[in-house]
Every structure is written in structure tokens, then in C-alpha cells.
Amino acid sequence: MDEADDGFVKPNNHESGGQSSCETRYIRALVDCGLRLGLDGLVANAIFREAESLNIYAFGQMCRSAELTPERLIDQYAGFVADEKTRGVLGRVLRYIENHSNWQSSLPVESRLRDFDLPHALSARVALDLLARVRPRVQPAIPLLEPPAIYLGRLKKRLEAIVAGRIGGTSG
């Protein structure tokens, strides 16, 4: 599980200052593989808890429910972070970020999972503009590792890194 984050690719979290990532499709695939193998438990390791809060939530929820899709999970999490009127916008931004993740970019093209379908072509700059419209939820429905406004700031840093072309590669 530890490999399904930004920890072992460049730029990794040490270099990026804790950019948030979104890896729900790969987490779903890993959990499903464990289920097919008959494993009765999985363990995740998260050093950068705040930066990886979405992935930690995804791992726990997907281990509990084999039916939970990455799309539904992202929409749920967006609802914890953004207010009711802008949660859909945040869901689109999170899908864009996942489609351009360091982890996915470090994999050979033939090993990558299919990107999320987005309603229209987004660029990192458009995603930044959309993110600027997101209003943080004042009272999240679950305890979060950091306030929604700080998490949104992490997403902004991630999108800025994508604009600058810092979206992964193999370490070493």
C-alpha cells in the first residue's frame, strides 16, 4: 500500500513539501487484489498523514466496502471538505489531480489504470481556477486531520506543481 502514494517517486513528499495526492483508483485495485487473494486484512503506512488524508480515508472505506467506487469515494470526501454548493467542483478537481498523479506518471503507460472521465477537457490552470471557487466546509461531518482550508491549500500546491511539470517519474 505504501507505494500507492507519492513517497517513492519524484518529486516525493520530502521534495514537494507535502503535496496532497489522490490515488483512489489504485487503492481500489490494490484492495480488490487483496480480496481476490483471500486476504482477511490489509495494512497501510502513511507518513505524511495530512497530505495523504484522502488516500487514508479511501483505503479504510474501500477495505470496508467492496462496492465503493473511486468516483463515489471522491464525491464523499469532497463533501467533507467543501461546502454543499462547491463540493461537485472539488470532486472534478480531485479527479483531475488523480489523472495527473505522481504515482500514475511513474508507471509504464501500459500499467496505468484508465483515467477518470471528466465532463470536459481540463488543464491544470483551469483546475486551479475551479479550485479557487471551492469554499471550505465550516463544520465537516467527520473529523479531518487538518482544517478544510489548509487541505485546499495543499491541493493548490499540487496543481501548481502539475502546471510546472513536476508530476512524477521514477526515483533514482
User: Stretch 143-147: mean pLDDT, rounded?
Assistant: 94
Residue 17: DSSP 8-state: T
- Is the pTM value of this prediction over 0.85? yes
pLDDT digits (tens, 9 = 90+) for 79-110: 999 999 999 999 999 999 999 988 888 888 99
| Percent of the chain topping pLDDT 70 | 86
| Confidence label for 16 from pLDDT (cuts 50, 70 and 90) | low
Q: Determine, yes or no, domain membership for 171.
A: no
Asked if residue 92 belongs to a domain, the reply is yes
Query: What is the rounded average pLDDT of the residues 50-60?
Result: 92
Q: Which cell is 56 given?
A: 487514508
Contacts of 153 (CB under 8 A, 6+ apart): none
Q: Determine, yes or no, domain membership for 156.
A: yes
Q: Which of 14-28, 39-53, 101-115 has the highest mean pLDDT?
A: 101-115
Number of folded domains in the chain? Answer: 1
pLDDT score, position 50? 82
- Is the bond preceding 108 in cis, omega lying within 30 degrees of 0? no
User: Which are the contacts of 63, defined by CB distance < 8 A and separation ≥ 6?
Assistant: 31, 42
Specify if 168 maps to a domain. Answer: no
What pLDDT was estimated at residue 5? 44
- Domain holding 158, by residue range, is 13-163
* Under 8 Å between Cβ of 166 and 21: no
pLDDT number for residue 25: 97
CA–CA gap between residue 119 and residue 54 (Å, rounded):
22
Over residues 56-85, the pLDDT tens digits come to 999 999 999 999 999 999 999 999 999 999
